[in-house]
Amino acid sequence: MRRIFSVSLILILTISACQKRGSPVEYLTENGIDVVASDPGRDKAHQPKIFGLEQELRIDLSATDLVQRGLTDPAAFDVDSEGNIVVWSQSSNDLGLFKFSSRGVFLSAFGRTGQGPGEVQFLTSVFFDADDELMVVDSQQRKTIIFDGNGVFLRQNPLSKRPAVIMPLKNGHYVTVEQRSIPGEVFNRITIDICGPDLHSIKEIGQRKYYRPNPERRFPAINPTGLIGISKNYVFFGDSENGYEIKCFEKSGRLRRIIRKVHRPVPLSADNREDLVKKYERFPPEIRNNVEYPDVLPPFQTGFADEEDRLFVMTYEGSGAEGHYWHDIFDKDGVFAGRVSIANYGTYGKSRGVLFTLAREGRIYHFRENRDGFKELVIWKMK
């Protein structure tokens, strides 16, 4: 039965605003939720602060000894509480997990390919939990595998559903990302949930669409982009199809605030369009004819958060350095605090991994491609 809402309920919207004269930040309350709205271009006297990065370490992931051990296609990584790094390779034929010290020294390889206890068939996410145990998701075998910090197999658990990504939270809960096909639709639906220890959903915090190439219906050349960030106290979610708006949830699932920024669209350049056209060259004509190329790029690409509850949002605005984009930084209160330039790790038209950049203890860990097209992991100190 279709639920009918009264007009009065639909139209009730309580808004209160507080803004300092000349300030680029406005504080609102909408339907009982705090909204922090930033417009850095409102006043030229309030220019965004530019944060610098100082390189501390670089790990060449294409080094011969690593390739010989099986690190042929580094997909993503995570960092434990002591700064040790685990890189995972999705296409490894033997061992898929590679541990490095905080100084970049290779320590061990583990995570054998196979179907037995502690063995992995198809990695889709790898994250450290609050106890520095490493949780590996094998979506093909529908199980999670837990290793200790040294790569020793501890246990595994079957999955009643098949999320592509499971991210541990510090309170024993999880964030899951699950993709489902929608019958009769040109898109898949990606659902993001905060779940309890048993992986049953406590709160669905967002959905976004992923459009599939279709010979019968129009579809966008650039899929809507999503942002999932986990900090000490919050989980952030944004869907670029809804504009430059990021929702900030407490780990219990309660919506704490909404972060907004005035978005000034970046036009789709001729080079951008050419890259997209090349992406669809391998498809038959009936699919290529249904591609819709946008005039402007989405408001943001992706993002991440750090342990100080700061949010980093990767925009489509070039920072001036080749292959670099401005990342907007929002402080622990959701206020726009400045920008930092970081090399591309997930732009339009390219298939990227689950996690390519993260922040820990004032450092930014970043996958990038070197001039030969091979990946390297760079650690920057943010100034």
Query: What is the per-residue DSSP string for 223-267?
Result: PPPEEEEE-SSEEEEEEGGG-SEEEEEETTS-EEEEEEE---PPB
pTM of the model: 0.89
The tokens describing 197, both together, are 């220890």
Q: What is the pLDDT of residue 114?
A: 87
Shortest CA distance to 131 belongs to which of 178, 95, 80, 83?
Answer: 80
Point out which residues pair with 82 in neighbouring strands.
none
Q: Tell me the pLDDT band of 23, cut-offs 50, 70 and 90.
A: low
pLDDT, average across residues 88-104: 86
What pLDDT, on the 0 to 100 scale, is given for residue 347?
A: 64
pLDDT average, residue stretch 197-222: 93
Structure tokens at 293: 């190329």
In the structure, what pLDDT confidence band is assigned to residue 356 with cuts at 50, 70 and 90? confident
Q: Give CA–CA dist 92/109, Å, rounded.
A: 11
Whole-Å CA distances, 159 to 144, 156, 194: 7, 10, 16
Share of the chain above pLDDT 70, in %: 89
Structure tokens at 75: 């997909």
Quote the radius of gyration of the chain (alpha carbons, Å): 22
pLDDT tens per residue across span 58-89: 999 999 999 888 888 888 899 999 999 999 88
Arithmetic mean of pLDDT, 147-164: 90
Task: Give the span between the Cα atoms of 219 and 153, in whole angstroms.
Answer: 44
User: Could you tell me the strand order of the sheet in which 123-128 lies?
Assistant: 123-128, 134-138, 143-147, 153-158
| Under 8 Å between Cβ of 376 and 366 | no
* pLDDT confidence bin for 252, thresholds 50/70/90: very high
Would you state the structure tokens that stand for residue 24, as one six-digit string? 């680029």
- φ, ψ of residue 95 in degrees (nearest 5): -110, 135
Tell me which residue of 226, 348, 242 sits closest to 293, measured CA to CA.
Answer: 348
3-state secondary structure at position 137: strand
Residue showing tokens 């820990």: 360
**pLDDT at residue 14, as a whole number:** 34
Is 50 exceeded by the pLDDT of residue 173?
yes
Which residues are within 8 A (CB) of 91 and not within 5 positions of it... i.e. 6 or more apart?
72, 73
